[in-house]
Amino acid sequence: MAQQHSLPHAYPMSPECEFANPSKIYDQNFGEGKLERGISEVTLNEHKFQVFLDVCQFTPDEIAVRTVDNLLEVTAQHPQKVDRHGFISREFTRTYILPLDVDPFSVKATVTHDGILSIEVRRTGKALKAKINEVEVTCQGQPERKEGSQERPQIPKTSF
């Protein structure tokens, strides 16, 4: 009986982490969650925001975790290596939107012995309030026409 794989996106993963190199391209599960559907596992409760990712194809020094404003970015890359099929190199980037009440400087990232990256961010309980800047719209006066001129005045071009 053949094992059925659902294809929720382009990189389906097998349920078990393979420590040897995968024999088929669809078995490559780097950068994917530990769930059967190939998505990362994200947990949010009143105390913390937590992410679990399967990164068993990478060593801890090949993984980078950083925050930029309210984004949590996980990247991993390893150079070309020899496997039983030839040469392979892997790379992924995954970005998460952090809740507004987390402290981005309290991020802790740990890799378990079986290749699961656990990222925890503590929640402060104080949501940041959106800063609203009301901008006044002003009206520019009509330019003066020269006597005897039928031309329409030129509107200054603005590039965005």
> Residue 65 has which token pair?
């975790």
> Residue 7 has which token pair?
């294809």
What the chain holds in terms of domains, given with CATH numbers, is 40-123 (2.60.40.790)
pLDDT digits (tens, 9 = 90+) for 22-79: 555 555 555 554 444 345 799 998 899 999 998 888 889 999 999 998 889 999 999 9
pTM assigned to the model: 0.57
Cα–Cα distance measured from residue 159 to residue 155, given in angstroms and rounded to the nearest whole number: 13
Q: Determine whether 115 is exposed, middle or buried from the number of CB atoms within 10 Å of its CB (0-12, 13-18, 19+).
A: buried
Cα–Cα distance measured from residue 91 to residue 56, given in angstroms and rounded to the nearest whole number: 13
* Bridging pattern class, strands 108-111 and 116-122: antiparallel
